[in-house]
Structure 1
């Protein structure tokens, strides 16, 4: 052991104290213990292996699934004065040879490596000749075959326990429900390790979900009214929709990039690099983008399509607000999204047992979308966590009115049954409302007993009812029948009047997800805000000079504290959270100069 963990935290990382269970985890790993660490994105997981890496002798090997992000992670550590390196396919043979020599000599603190490279016999043989501090397995949920980010290479990482039994291993993730945690422990041979589960809540994120009603216009209004000039990620299900949405946003004057697996790898890498290194860009992407994204100032994550599960939703929305500042998770969806996701599940080549799990996960997501309760409570309960009503989600800010929907449910179920369980929501609603169309006339559905029994409700209201019945499991979308609605076997008690149904009233006018105020850092003093923007400008200049993302110099949260505290010298600057000794030496004078210049100018004004 070369130093005290708290001394490392203060001198290298610039923070005065550990948060939550960080100290317990760090002490456990320093003592040589294995661990599973589950901590929300932005909660400080990386410190749980970086601090022990600097306290224990030898090199720490960090398994990271995305080569494209390793260099930024390494650069962020080098900015702190930490000796770090990455080994991947973009590194020249000569550079790899030198890094491996430095590892054997104990001259490097941390090495980032992809699982594929780690498992190569030659690399494992080299590790056997190195003094090893620990193994950190990041994004450990990738080991789960039931998960949304499964990586088969992760299954082979259990070999580390056999090859290096005396070296502590710590597996880290922000996304793992109970079954996934058990799978991580089993597959990585961590049964004797400690588990540190510190909760899933991200209180700075506001969760908002609304109904699709011209989704492009809804999205544009959301960005322009609430996040002008902010960095954000927009998720779509298909590659075509990604390209179309990014192009349309550019036509509206917004700087938007596209990212999906079908793009040329050089274009994909260039777009990702631009998004990470510049401010105010919007990335429109499929789920191929995002795992391990370290960009802390993503102010919003928007979904134009329904994700596959609550785990996927939590993982994707967790890319917003990693710096702890106010951020938004915004989504619009409709009944057609349910059909699309179900079609993806049923059309996959997965075994039946995995399909059954994916159906249950989708049902849990639909329940979250349609809840009248606090969304954060429902989300956390899925992960066996809990909280009080949060006051920072749409259902808390605008409480949802519920009503006894038993009668309208009976009407809807009867119409689905009477039409033969062969038609989608549009035709069923036409029958309920008594709307004559060419199809209803040709089928003779005007003669059905259910014809026109729901004329008192509008089309949007019936869409809401049917969507909720799907979410509740009373109605099933038959993907093989082109979106036909079918009755669940469990609806007989409802039809007989033995089981009541409670439904939520959707707002009649503007979509709930389209409402909101601008989410931004707030300052009590306008002079502090002026200084904050001046500091960001200087940070961008320095980042461009060095060819690094701005956040590896300082996070927005650190600039906020500099703007509020207005340090006058290096001693005061050293007390700002996030300013360690390395960054103080590199950037202290440059940012103190901005503080002095901006303070003098605003005082003169």
Structure 2
């Protein structure tokens, strides 16, 4: 049975006497409801709509999707979007359909007859955008299908996945170089939110896009406040963050292990916080259910491994928390970038301790891969440790990693609460001497706990059995407390002065120990700081009102809440996420504009033609009921 032919309401937008830039603006306004482009969006769209290739590095929330969606609407044919995010394709398509774009996906979740119907739509020219995974695209049957269709462009999303030395390598992406030969006249655009200069070069080479124009936007997300604090009681620290700053708001909590995900989600639930787990060990149907509930609910927290998050388009995630040290700055940046996609103030928070470093190094040393791979992993970890232990602006350090210079932000924990430093040269020498004496005189190596016990001269069973009290280093570190020694050790490991070794993470002098032992350098370490207090007042919000509504007057908030309730009912009826109806920012714009006619409502940012026709009268009715 043939699929019903779909009507193309956007075709008229491709026509007209305006130049390409004006037509792009017309599409932006009529379809998406925005008046102007941001950053380099206009230049990127002009390049691709004109038939040229583009490599785009742009932060999460920077508007990457418009860079291929609008050219696909301006050009004749169907835009193919290559994405690894099978679990999210249905939501991505639903969001596009919500603004009047004819979109579909081809992936393994479809029944045979459903896939055939989509293929027929493609061949009939009835689709503006078609999503598919890389492993499907490179199949000979798929390439033959696409060869019989009219293609407007090919967009390769999450393009960093092609880099074997990147943080999120996907082998299936390596086959995408075939696109250069299969469709030489079809423009290609490769996009990523996370790429160092090395990854940028590699993805360009592997995708054979040497002739492409390159667009590198600023990686800065000024609305995100970066905070890292010493790990003491991490779940208690997390609970304090949620209850004092983000009560009733959506957030993502990352843990390294599946067990930690499960226990943390349960612990939060036991403390009255709505939280769900997500990791690869859960049944696929459970993962899908938890993901959909997170996307469609307001105020829900997802506790997850890094298996969760890529492609998540939820705009009102107010915080991203890490209870374990990420493996790389690329991964950290991508994960924290899932907060505050709507541009509203958001928090990237992490609790980090020496145990994280030991476990990460053990994982690298005992893992699979050749020595070059392990050196690369160690380099990633060292950069992550440098970010954690910096005594200058975290944002400056983060952006420098991606090759971008900046000034201190005034909005990270370091800027808000500058650390004090102290001369740790002699204590570091004492600690290194203790490691050396234990090894030379007793043939022993220990982790941080026993080393600190020796420095403090505290007896235990191990000390008595090995007669540690006879060592000349016994008790030589009593000028510091146990907490101070742990802080110093963590920083010494981060600087390579002390290193964990072997399966048990015993401590040994590191590659940078020599100059310290010989007194050739003065060593300054930071004093551990108290947790950073939020720089923005949370008072007066009441009832978990979103941050977007913080500046509204009382009467305006009542109208905002009425619109939120209406939005929730519409989303439930349509079985879509609330933000797919209207975002919080658009609801605020409606409240502030006070439209009395449908035409006036159409001037609000985020209200495109289809949404205006579908929801306009209902919105005015809600506002009338609140006046």
1:473 aligns with 2:500: no
From 599, 602, 608, the counterpart of 1:571: 599
State the alpha-carbon separation in 1 of the partners of residues 468 and 242 from structure 2: 44
State the alpha-carbon separation in 2 of the partners of residues 514 and 351 from structure 1: 44
From 392, 405, 424, the counterpart of 2:411: 392
Once the two structures are TM-superposed, the CA of residue 2 in structure 1 deviates from its matched residue by 4.0
Once the two structures are TM-superposed, the CA of residue 517 in structure 1 deviates from its matched residue by 5.2
1:425 aligns with 2:448: yes
**Secondary structure of the equivalent of 1:302?**
strand
State the alpha-carbon separation in 2 of the partners of residues 286 and 590 from structure 1: 40
State the alpha-carbon separation in 1 of the partners of residues 201 and 29 from structure 2: 35
Query: Cα deviation per residue 1:313-346 (whole Å; 9 max; x = unaligned)?
Result: 0011111111111111111011001111112212
1:259 aligns with 2:278: yes
State the alpha-carbon separation in 2 of the partners of residues 564 and 305 from structure 1: 41
| Equivalences for residues 304-383 of structure 1 within 5 A | 304-383=323-402
State the alpha-carbon separation in 1 of the partners of residues 224 and 335 from structure 2: 12
State the alpha-carbon separation in 1 of the partners of residues 425 and 618 from structure 2: 67
Once the two structures are TM-superposed, the CA of residue 514 in structure 1 deviates from its matched residue by 9.0
Alpha-carbon contact 1:574-1:580 (below 8 Å) kept: yes
| Equivalences for residues 128-527 of structure 1 within 5 A | 128-420=147-439, 422-480=445-503, 482-507=504-529, 510-512=530-532, 518=538, 520-521=547-548, 522-527=550-555
Query: Cα deviation per residue 1:514-557 (whole Å; 9 max; x = unaligned)?
Result: 99854933215222233222222211110000001111111222
Alpha-carbon contact 1:218-1:514 (below 8 Å) kept: no
RMSD between aligned residues: 1.5
State the alpha-carbon separation in 2 of the partners of residues 372 and 528 from structure 1: 43
Match in the other structure for 1:587: 615
1:558 aligns with 2:586: yes
Alpha-carbon contact 1:260-1:286 (below 8 Å) kept: yes
Once the two structures are TM-superposed, the CA of residue 134 in structure 1 deviates from its matched residue by 0.1
Task: Tell me which of the two structures has the higher relative contact order, counting C-alpha pairs closer than 8 angstroms and 6 or more residues apart.
Answer: 1
Q: Unpaired runs of 5+ in structure 2?
A: 1-13, 17-22, 539-545
**Secondary structure of the equivalent of 1:301?**
strand
**Secondary structure of the equivalent of 2:547?**
coil
Query: Cα deviation per residue 1:199-236 (whole Å; 9 max; x = unaligned)?
Result: 21111111111111111111111111111111111111
Match in the other structure for 2:83: 64
Once the two structures are TM-superposed, the CA of residue 489 in structure 1 deviates from its matched residue by 3.2
Once the two structures are TM-superposed, the CA of residue 154 in structure 1 deviates from its matched residue by 0.4
Alpha-carbon contact 2:251-2:302 (below 8 Å) kept: yes
**Secondary structure of the equivalent of 2:73?**
helix
State the alpha-carbon separation in 2 of the partners of residues 513 and 340 from structure 1: 29
Alpha-carbon contact 1:143-1:150 (below 8 Å) kept: yes
Normalised TM-score (structure 1): 0.96
Once the two structures are TM-superposed, the CA of residue 90 in structure 1 deviates from its matched residue by 1.7
The number of residues matched between the two structures is 596
Residue 234 and residue 515 in structure 1: after superposition, are their counterparts in 2 closer, same or farther (change >3 A)? farther
| Equivalences for residues 22-33 of structure 1 within 5 A | 22-33=41-52
State the alpha-carbon separation in 2 of the partners of residues 352 and 597 from structure 1: 68
Moved more, 568-577 or 64-73: 568-577
State the alpha-carbon separation in 1 of the partners of residues 438 and 533 from structure 2: 34
State the alpha-carbon separation in 1 of the partners of residues 571 and 613 from structure 2: 16
**Secondary structure of the equivalent of 2:69?**
helix
Normalised TM-score (structure 2): 0.93
1:92 aligns with 2:111: yes
State the alpha-carbon separation in 1 of the partners of residues 496 and 561 from structure 2: 50
State the alpha-carbon separation in 1 of the partners of residues 60 and 416 from structure 2: 24
